[in-house]
Structure 1
């Protein structure tokens, strides 16, 4: 019997010991791991291997992780999880605004990395639940095809942005608390991080506004987000 190939994970990490550990553990969870040890190699393999997920260190030889992330986002909306010893809030927000889907601070707990990888792959691949075509306020989201448009213009959303818009458009008339959005999109296994929700919602709104010069998402201060009436 032929086995279904597992998801491809690109690990871009110059610390070979850390990279080998990630490759071993993720491989045990059924993932096929491709390793890159420099920024240019990471950019090349992200293009040629077309991975399902990228784990990206920031401090890389020859090209920084920031540059690799920008290059990936020019071609692809593949989920990208940043691994870095930088702990400042500003760094995290800047990287989320560049298109990173998640951020893990070094030294990391390997079980947390595995859980976040699996959650990112679930978000990117959707769920087994029945899917629907949603339309609201000029937005159209197809859960089956994993596409979203505004005014007929493709939004090219990341998996995380798609997850947020899906949560809003499934029930557009209620206010979605930020903590509930975080649990739905990132998974219950992580502690709630309001700044992460805000940063990804900012990116989602920017893409919609660039497409149709409208902002159908309404902020309910101190609570969360909802969609405006049509």
Structure 2
């Protein structure tokens, strides 16, 4: 994990200075952005290994930056916020954030979370696995899904969820398991973000043309079934 490049996006200089010192101790480099537009530009041009993003950035909110970045990249994103309401966490995760840290925080904790998210992200990128059923093919290394031989456009998070479920046919996976594996986030509260993603995923699946489905298990989670 040495030499990883972290993009720190916050309008407070002290955040860059304190977290930056701890990153250097871990042999990680960092670059700084102090407003949302600059953060979006650097995310595209420099392509960091991870983005640490404050929600309330000047010029462009961090949530909007996250939404734009997710249109073309699955780079890990950790959101920083002074708010602690559950709804803010749900919104951040739905937009594609991988973790969520509430201010005030310990710089040591932030760097620990960065290392954890990077490890999980790297493990996904090394999974050159392909799942293939009669009319479904999922490639986690290229983030492609084919249904009846036709490429169907899913978001990276949707593909991860589908891959996880299809890797465990007939097994019920609860929402906490999906949240932890796909988002890499140890949040044990409201898991509605999983329900939202699966709802969106289902809308893209031609239910009447495939021999498999994602079944909801009331009060528990979801199961991949083959008919």
User: TM-score, normalized by length of structure 1?
Assistant: 0.80
- Could you tell me whether the CA contact under 8 Å between 2:8 and 2:51 is conserved in 1? yes
The correspondence for 1:115, drawn from 95, 107, 112, is 112
For 1:32-43, what aligned pairs fall within 5 Å after superposition?
32-43=29-40
The correspondence for 2:73, drawn from 76, 98, 102, is 76
> Secondary structure of 2:219's match?
coil
1:135 is the counterpart of 2:132? yes
How has the CA–CA distance of structure 1 residues 27 and 135 changed in structure 2, closer, same or farther, with 3 Å as cutoff?
A: farther
Q: Report the equivalent of 2:221.
A: 224
Cα offset, 1:201, TM superposition:
5.1
Ranges in structure 2 where 5+ consecutive residues have no aligned partner: none
Q: Report the equivalent of 1:195.
A: 190
Cα offset, 1:221, TM superposition:
2.0
Inter-partner Cα distance in structure 2 for 1:53 and 1:201: 26
> Secondary structure of 1:126's match?
helix
Q: Structure 1 residues 78-87 or 19-28, which shifts more?
A: 19-28
How has the CA–CA distance of structure 1 residues 165 and 123 changed in structure 2, closer, same or farther, with 3 Å as cutoff?
A: farther
How has the CA–CA distance of structure 1 residues 127 and 220 changed in structure 2, closer, same or farther, with 3 Å as cutoff?
A: same
Inter-partner Cα distance in structure 2 for 1:139 and 1:194: 33
> Secondary structure of 2:71's match?
helix
Inter-partner Cα distance in structure 1 for 2:134 and 2:172: 16
> Secondary structure of 1:216's match?
strand
The correspondence for 1:60, drawn from 45, 57, 62, is 57
> Secondary structure of 1:217's match?
strand
User: TM-score, normalized by length of structure 2?
Assistant: 0.81
> Secondary structure of 1:67's match?
helix
Ranges in structure 1 where 5+ consecutive residues have no aligned partner: none
Residue correspondences, number: 220
Cα offset, 1:13, TM superposition:
0.8
